[in-house]
């Protein structure tokens, strides 16, 4: 379990970036796989979610998670929903104490947000599509709609694939540069002609800085650390047929 210093210091906020360790799943999903979208047994995923939720003092039924679609769409949560009623979106916000917000990742960037003074928290899943589409800014705006102030928001960038591990094609770089020429700075030449190493975490961090919120980055690479993290890209490179999903959580501990 990993905590960000700024969020850990925020009064009335509990959060955790969970590793893959400490669960009940086996094989490719060993061991704290929290993704129902994987091929793991649902009973294992349920048990793992119970363990994950306990890290922030909740039960699995207190968690709200999404059917993530790599969008910039944000959902306000007032109470957890049933698994088969999960909205298709990639970020959540709430001002309801005791509701846990959960984001699933296996290389994409989990971002957790809190304005402790306003009593508003948020969580976002930022893959390259969502990051380019503005999911960070959309989450902050949704928090403001619930009474948060940008000056009071602290955010943390969690474990994700890092630039040294993330080779992409020229078409992806071009999509970012077409949207903002300054984004070229997040792409370094790779050893393969026509390919680049992409700093997705850096791009997300710039979005946080541009939005005017305080932020920190835990600086951990999901691809490079197989003992602690699931990684879609690592599984693909190894020819594995499936992969587990890690979970990142945040909640208001009290009103």
- For residue 245, being part of any structural domain is answered with yes
User: What is this structure's pTM?
Assistant: 0.98
Quick: pLDDT tens for 220-252: 999 999 999 999 999 999 999 999 999 999 999
Which pLDDT belongs to residue 117?
97
- For residue 206, being part of any structural domain is answered with no
Mark whether 83 and 56 lie in a shared domain: yes
Q: E strands along 34-164, which residues?
A: 63-64, 74-76, 91-94, 100-105, 109-115, 120-126, 154-157
Residue 81 pLDDT greater than 90, yes or no: yes
Determine if the peptide bond prior to 202 is cis (ω within 30°). no
Mark whether 41 and 106 lie in a shared domain: yes
- For residue 97, being part of any structural domain is answered with yes
- The C-alpha atoms of residue 62 and residue 94 are separated, in whole angstroms, by 13
Give the DSSP H/E element, type plus range, for residue 247: strand 246-252
Mark whether 97 and 32 lie in a shared domain: yes
- For residue 225, being part of any structural domain is answered with yes
State the Cα angle at 27 between 25 and 32, rounded to 5°.
Answer: 30
pLDDT confidence band for 94 (50 / 70 / 90): very high
Residue 159 pLDDT greater than 60, yes or no: yes
Which pLDDT belongs to residue 254?
72
- The C-alpha atoms of residue 39 and residue 26 are separated, in whole angstroms, by 12
Which pLDDT belongs to residue 255?
52
Which residues lie closer than 8 Å to 203 by C-beta, 6 or more apart? 131, 176, 183, 186
Mark whether 132 and 106 lie in a shared domain: yes
Mark whether 174 and 104 lie in a shared domain: no
CB 190 within 8 A of CB 196: yes
Q: Which of 230, 196, 208, 20 is nearest to 131 (CA)?
A: 208
The count of domains in the chain is 2
Return the sign of the alpha-carbon dihedral for residues 164, 168, 172, 177. Answer: positive
- For residue 96, being part of any structural domain is answered with yes
CB 14 within 8 A of CB 57: yes
CB 128 within 8 A of CB 198: yes
- For residue 204, being part of any structural domain is answered with no
Domain harbouring 114, CATH code:
3.60.140.10
Q: What is the extent of the structural domain holding 63?
A: 5-160+212-252
Quick: pLDDT tens for 188-203: 999 888 999 999 999 9
Mark whether 171 and 216 lie in a shared domain: no
Mark whether 91 and 51 lie in a shared domain: yes
Mark whether 96 and 177 lie in a shared domain: no
- For residue 18, being part of any structural domain is answered with yes
Mark whether 150 and 190 lie in a shared domain: no
- For residue 216, being part of any structural domain is answered with yes
């Amino acid at each position: 379990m990993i905590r960000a210093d700024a969020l850990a210091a925020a009064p009335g906020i509990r959060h955790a970036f969970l590793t893959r360790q400490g669960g009940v799943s086996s094989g490719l999903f060993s061991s704290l796989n929290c993704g129902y979208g994987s091929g793991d047994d649902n009973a294992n995923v349920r048990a793992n979610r119970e363990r994950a939720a306990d890290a922030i003092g909740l039960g699995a039924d207190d968690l709200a998670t999404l059917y993530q679609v790599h969008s910039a769409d944000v959902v306000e949560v007032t109470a957890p929903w049933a698994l088969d009623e999960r909205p298709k979106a990639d970020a959540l916000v709430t001002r309801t104490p005791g509701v846990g917000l959960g984001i699933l990742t296996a290389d994409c960037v989990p971002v957790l947000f809190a304005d402790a003074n306003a009593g508003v928290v948020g969580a976002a899943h930022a893959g390259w599509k969502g990051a380019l589409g503005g999911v960070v800014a959309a989450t902050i705006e949704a928090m403001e709609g619930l009474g948060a102030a940008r000056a009071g928001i602290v955010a943390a960038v969690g474990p994700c694939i890092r630039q040294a591990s993330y080779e992409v094609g020229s078409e992806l770089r071009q999509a970012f540069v077409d949207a903002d020429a300054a984004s070229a700075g997040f792409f370094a030449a790779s050893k393969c002609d026509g390919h680049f190493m992409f700093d997705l975490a850096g791009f997300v961090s710039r979005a946080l800085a541009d939005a005017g919120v305080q932020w920190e980055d835990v600086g951990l690479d999901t691809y490079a650390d197989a003992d602690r993290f699931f990684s879609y890209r690592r599984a693909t490179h190894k020819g594995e047929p499936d992969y587990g999903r890690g979970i990142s959580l945040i909640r208001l501990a009290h009103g």
